[in-house]
Amino acid sequence: MATVTAAPTSGPVSTRRSCRRAPEAMAGAYSKPSFISAMSPSLMPAPKRRCSSHHEEGIALVTTLVVLLAVLLLSASAARNVLLAERATRNERDYQIALQSAEAALADAELDIDGTAGPERARGEVFDDPTLRFSPDCTGADHRLRGLCEGGEPTAWLRVDFDDFSAAAPTVAFGEYTGRRFQSGAGSLPVQMPRYIIERLPLKTPGKDASTAARSSVYRITAVGFGPTAATSVMLQSYYRRVPK
């Protein structure tokens, strides 16, 4: 029988043991739990994403809304400007129609004073008689005195109602004593015939005899023309001296 004899050692004997584990043991110690390995990939927690993409999307949305709002405001402003321009053009057209109507009434009143119309309408003899008194309110029992006013204070054209279109109106309609015609009615035509009054004022010329000046007169014509609507009207005045025949 063989005998094993331990070799003698000259120094102290180390009693430490190695802590290194076998690879198999290490693998078993750090292996994943079985329930985690068995989980479906869809149930695995998703990795966290960065929030910078959401922040950029929010900024883009706000920018788009601001641009849309600006476009909307510009469109509304442009539409408003178009409407205002159209209204201004229409008002200017109505004013020009009323202005031309009033100018026509002034010319008709001058013909009325001159008495150049037919004998059945003309009233030139009324203006030939300096002693004939006109009415202060531009009316009179004689129809020939319609619209003829005696000058005074306050002036007649401030007291007369030019919107009175009745048969007893104190104003004269276009062509009433001249026989001329004037188109009026719907559309772009004046809504009413133009009307006028004539005020007789004393004419005082320096250097002339007072008795002669008393018989001289100048006439102030006040005419009103209307546009396509009753809301538009133009008043014009002129002074006219009748040439003695």
- Choose between 93 and 32: higher pLDDT: 93
Higher pLDDT, 51 or 133: 133
Question: Would you state the pLDDT for residue 167?
Answer: 84
Residues contacting residue 220 through CB under 8 Å, at least 6 positions apart: 151, 157, 198, 199, 201, 237, 238, 239, 240
pLDDT of residue 143: 77
Residues sharing a CB contact under 8 Å with residue 132, sequence separation 6 or more, in sequence order: 126
Give dist(CA 157, CA 27) in Å, integer.
120
CA distance 188 to 174: 18
Q: Which pLDDT score is estimated for 194?
A: 96
Residue 131: per-residue pLDDT: 76
Which pLDDT score is estimated for 94? Answer: 94
Report DSSP letters for 92-111, one per residue: HHHHHHHHHHHHHHHHHHHH
pLDDT of residue 120: 66
Of 75, 145, 113, nearest in space to 217 by CA: 113
pLDDT at 59: 83
3-state class of 239 per DSSP? strand
Which of 66-80, 98-112, 129-143, 189-203 is predicted least confidently?
A: 129-143
Q: What is the pLDDT of residue 15?
A: 45
**Which is higher by pLDDT, 119 or 166?**
166
Q: Is 232 in a helix, a strand, or coil?
A: coil
- Mean confidence (pLDDT) of the chain: 78
Quote the distance between the C-alpha of residue 65 and its chain's center: 30
pLDDT in tens, 120-179: 677 878 887 777 888 888 886 677 888 999 877 678 898 899 999 988 889 999 999 998
- CA atoms of 118 and 132, how far apart (whole Å): 22
Q: Which of 15-29, 98-112, 185-199, 200-214 has the highest mean pLDDT?
A: 98-112
How many CA atoms lie less than 13 Å away from 21 in the CB half-sphere? 8
- Please state the pTM of the whole predicted model: 0.65
pLDDT at 221: 96
Which tops the pLDDT comparison, 159 or 13? Answer: 159
pLDDT value for 188: 85
**180-228: per-residue pLDDT in tens?**
899 888 888 999 999 999 999 888 777 666 555 456 789 999 999 999 9
Q: How many helices (H) and strands (E) does the chain have?
A: 6, 5
pLDDT of residue 46: 54
Residue-range domain boundaries for the chain: 87-240
- Residue 23, preceding peptide bond in cis (omega within 30° of 0): no
Dist. CA 221–CA 216, nearest whole Å: 16
Question: In whole angstroms, what is the distance from residue 174 CA to residue 197 CA?
Answer: 11
Q: What is the DSSP letter of 135?
A: B
Q: Give the per-residue pLDDT at 104.
A: 96
Q: Is 135 exposed, middle or buried (0-12, 13-18, 19+ CB in 10 A)?
A: middle
- Specify whether the CB–CB gap between 138 and 170 falls below 8 A: yes
